[in-house]
Structure formats: structure tokens, C-alpha cells
Amino acid sequence: MGLALDRGGAVIGRRRFLAATGLTGLAALTGCGPLTAEVAGLPLPSALPPPRPFAVPLPIPPVARPVRPGHYEVTQRAAKVEIVPGTTTEIWGFDGHFPGPTFDLRRGEAATVRVRNELPVPTSTHLHGGVTPPDSDGYPTDLVVPVGRTLPRGAHHGMGGPVEPTAHPGAKDYRYPVEQRAATLWYHDHRMDFTGPQVWRGLAGFALIRDDEDDALPLPRGDRDIPLMICDRSFEEDGSFAYPSLDPTLVGEPGVRGAYMAGVEGDVILVNGAPWPVCEVVGARHRLRLLNASNARRYRLELRPGGRFVQVGGDLGLLAAPVAHDALVISPGERFDVVVDFSAYRPGTEVTLVNTLGDGPARNVLRFRVTRAVRDDARVPRRLASVRPAERAAAVTTRVFDFRRSGQGPASAWTVNGVPYRPGRTLARPRLGTAEVWRFASDFHHPVHVHLAHFQVLSRGGRPPRASDAGWKDTVDVRPYEVVEALVRFEGHRGRYMTHCHNLEHEDMAMMADFEVV
């Protein structure tokens, strides 16, 4: 039986914990039965028959090209694309792509990205994992409004009441200093109350940061360095995306229908925007940059008929040393850089990346087809990078962030420390250049994301971190009835930032909190 701690440190039984937070009712409402550590969201069935798995090639997102050194321009617009073979889906994409173009950036070379909005709704773009100035962080009420349109009435009202947004007509320049280590980052929409449906429609893409330390390692590179954006979607009979919005126009009432408040899971797994694709690989080591870009679905990834992931990086760059895994659990927002040695398989072998938390077709993710044997000049060294170890004694204070559902019925909301999000209400004021211990407590499955600050996991439920918690992170998978402690470092910029649940339906239902670096 899972246990939790109250604020005084007392142990709370699982049933009492659920009753106190109203989650017994949620379990009954969703039909999930008793909540377990594997519950994330609620499946949304497609009206369209699912496509045949492993019938389309894996696409690789295009690389963004600067309009001049250090300056990029992208346009958020609708486009018609073929996702399910034989049908057309309207996506909202950066430059009309889903995923959007990959920004290939280098440490020490600042970048400015002008984002133009030609969609019918406002947007706010967040560089997930980026150490960015506060005015370029993608704050949820810092909105780019399409030319000729005004802010829709009600679309900028949070669960805590009306707020005054900042409106940028037509476009906004996002400034990225790129002074951080090499890492696999991603960018996505972050509009208040509507992040879930707008990411679901396609507003997401990769941003890869490179540096000399990573380049000096003999890891796979070139076409053997593959970004993999894993997400799930459901489809209407006509091929359009299905999503249970209360207002499908996304200009009125925010939120989702009924039990989908727990999180929306699709029944078609996409990788780089393609359903259950096939990736042809040569018999050599490959670096796979795994990103969970789903709204709510968690994955436990394994290779079948067998194989291991050698993890070389986490959310925010290289680990100190590689870590081998037979399986990896990845929650929304998390990234893992892993090396898979396909020379272990004979040419012609098909190796399937599966999700053992999924049922039916959603159990499959991607298939690799080994084409031929080649000479492999890549390897994984025993030491990867210099990573400062986490020292609890370095913390100047300890703070608690309690992620749970508060209230009952229509008045219920996903909250942090018992209050729904209200822009400008600050829950913490850490000092620049310091470190703090942040204790994340949970009543449900909450992938907790911290903007700006990078952290290392100190403990889970009073025990050592999992092997997959290694390295610097910005998102941590907090399981039901669990307390995760992290050493959080505040470096780079002063200003207003936020922490929130990266289950996007929870985020849209007010599970966010501001903090100010002073």
C-alpha cells in the first residue's frame, strides 16, 4: 500500500489520503478502480479505425534555418497533413509542421526566434529546459495575438479569476542566451488554460543544444543521432484530431469534459508525427533522443525481442557516467538520451520499442529494422562529463510544493499548496545563485516541471533516487502518495518563473505556481 506524509511528517494511509483529496471519487468517475502508481490519464477512443502499425517510415523533423546569423523566424499556422494514411488531419504547427522544425543551437551562441501567429487563437511559446530571461520564458499570460484579432473573452481567465494578459500583436521575439550545457530541449505552446488542446493540435518541436564537451565524446552522431518525439493522439472519423474540449474553438470556456480532467490519452501512438513508424538502422550504435511529448500518458519503454538502453543524458545534458536500463519509465516532459547497439542483432531483425504500460495497439511505439552490418566507430566511454554532485548541505532552505486535487464536484481543481493558480501570486522567492531543497508531494501522478532552475533528485519517499533520476533535470515523475526531494539551483536570471504539473490537463486546470528569483 502506498503511503504519504502530511506537512508535519506523519504517515497517512492510502484510503485516508484519497478521501482527504477527493480522489476516491475521481477513481470511480474515471472507471479506473483503485488508483495505482501507473495511473496517468483517461483513454479517448478514436472514431477512425487505427492505422496498420509499422507501415510508414519514421520522419525526421526539418532543421530550422536562420534568416541571418543567430536569428530565426517561424510562423504558427494551420496545415493539412496526412498522419493516418488515406486521411487528412488539420494540425496547428510551427511553419505548418508537426513536430515543428528542430532548432540546432550551440552553447555560447545566442539565438533570437521571432514567432508569428497566424492561428485563430493566442499562443505563448515556452522553451522547455531553457535558461531564458523571464520575458522570453513563455509565461502563460504573455500572449502573441494574431493580427486583426483581440483577446477572446474568457480565454485569459484562470481558475483564480480574471487576469490581465500581455498581448503582442502578430509576433514576438524570444531571446535565448544559450549559455547552458548541451542537452535535448523542446519547445511547445504554454497559453494559459489551453496548453493541452493547443499542444495536442501540434504546437511542439525539438531544440537541441550542442557544446564542445558533448562533441568530444565518441558517441553516435550524424544520421545515427535520432530525435524521437513520442506522443499519443485520437482521431475523429474524418481524420481530424479528437479532443474533449468544453469549447472546441478554444476561445471560450477552458477545460475538458468530465473524467478527462484526470488527463487525456490518445489511442494512436505517434513518433515524430507518424503512427507506429518504422526506422531503418544499420548494425551499429545509435543515439536516441527520447522525448515524451504526450499530454498525460506515461510510457515504460522496452526493446523486444530484447536489448538494453545505455543512458548517456537526461533532461539537461550528459550524465557523469552511463547507466544501463532494461526498461525506462518516461513521464510527460521528460527526456532521455540513450545509446542502443544494433550490432547485437542480425541484419533483417526487427526490434520493436514497446510501452508495457499500454494496452492493445497503444502497447507498440516504434519498430527498428536492422538493414546491414557496418564498421562502428562510436562507443560509450566510462566517464561522460563533469557533473557537480547534489549536496543537501548546499541548500539555504527547504520548501514544500503539494500537488493535489482540491475541492469537490464542479468547484474542484488541481492545485499547488491548496490554491489554484493565479498569475502574479508568488509562492516562493529564491535568491539567484543559491540552492534550495524542494519537496514535491503528490496525490496522483504528477510530472513536476520547474522553469529556469535545474535540479538533481535527492530522494524518493525517503529512499535513494531511481537510476533513471540521474543527472540534471527540469521534470520529475512524482508518483501517487510519494514525496520527491530535489536540490534546485537558481542560476542565470532574476524574475518571475513558474513550476507546474506537466500533465497538460492538470496544468490547464490550475496546477501551476509562480516563483520569483530575486
Q: What is the pLDDT of residues 303-323, one digit of tens each?
A: 999 999 999 999 999 999 999
Bridging pattern class, strands 225-235 and 241-242: antiparallel
**379: its cell numbers:** 562507443
* 178, 110 contact by CB (below 8 A): yes
- Which set of grid coordinates corresponds to residue 383? 566517464
- Residue 154 pLDDT > 90, yes or no? no
Quick one: pLDDT at residue 22?
A: 38
pLDDT at 423: 94
The domains of the chain are located at 71-215, 222-373, 392-517
Instruction: List pLDDT tens digits, range 485-494.
Output: 999 999 999 9
Question: If one looks up domain 222-373 in CATH, what number appears?
Answer: 2.60.40.420
Please tell me the predicted confidence (pLDDT) of residue 259: 84
- Average pLDDT over the chain, rounded to an integer: 90
Strand partners, 455: 473, 488
**CA-to-CA distance for 505 and 257, rounded, in angstroms?**
11
Q: Backbone dihedral region of 118: left (phi > 0), alpha (psi from -120 to 50 degrees) or beta?
A: alpha
Question: Which CATH superfamily is 392-517 part of?
Answer: Cupredoxins -  blue copper proteins (2.60.40.420)
pLDDT given for residue 155 in this prediction:
42
DSSP code for 286? E
Q: Tell me the percentage of the chain whose pLDDT exceeds 90.
A: 85
Statement: residue 36 has pLDDT above 70: no
Q: Which one, of 263, 254, 201, 252, lies nearest residue 421 by Cα?
A: 254
pLDDT digits (tens, 9 = 90+) for 408-445: 776 678 999 999 999 999 999 999 999 999 999 999 99
Mean pLDDT for the stretch of residues 108-122: 97
Question: In CATH terms, are 71-215 and 392-517 the same topology?
Answer: yes
> Quick one: pLDDT at residue 410?
67
Residue 27 binned pLDDT confidence (cut-offs 50, 70, 90) = very low
CATH code matching the domain that covers 71-215, chosen among 3.90.1150.10, 3.40.50.360, 3.40.50.720, 2.60.40.420: 2.60.40.420
Mean pLDDT (whole number) for 150-178: 76
Q: Which residues of 193-217 are buried (b: 16+ CB within 10 A; e: fewer)?
A: bbbbbbbbbbbbbbbbbbbeebeeb
pLDDT grade, residue 157 (50/70/90)? very low
Is the confidence at residue 48, as pLDDT, over 60? yes
Choice between 421 and 38, residue whose per-residue pLDDT is larger: 421
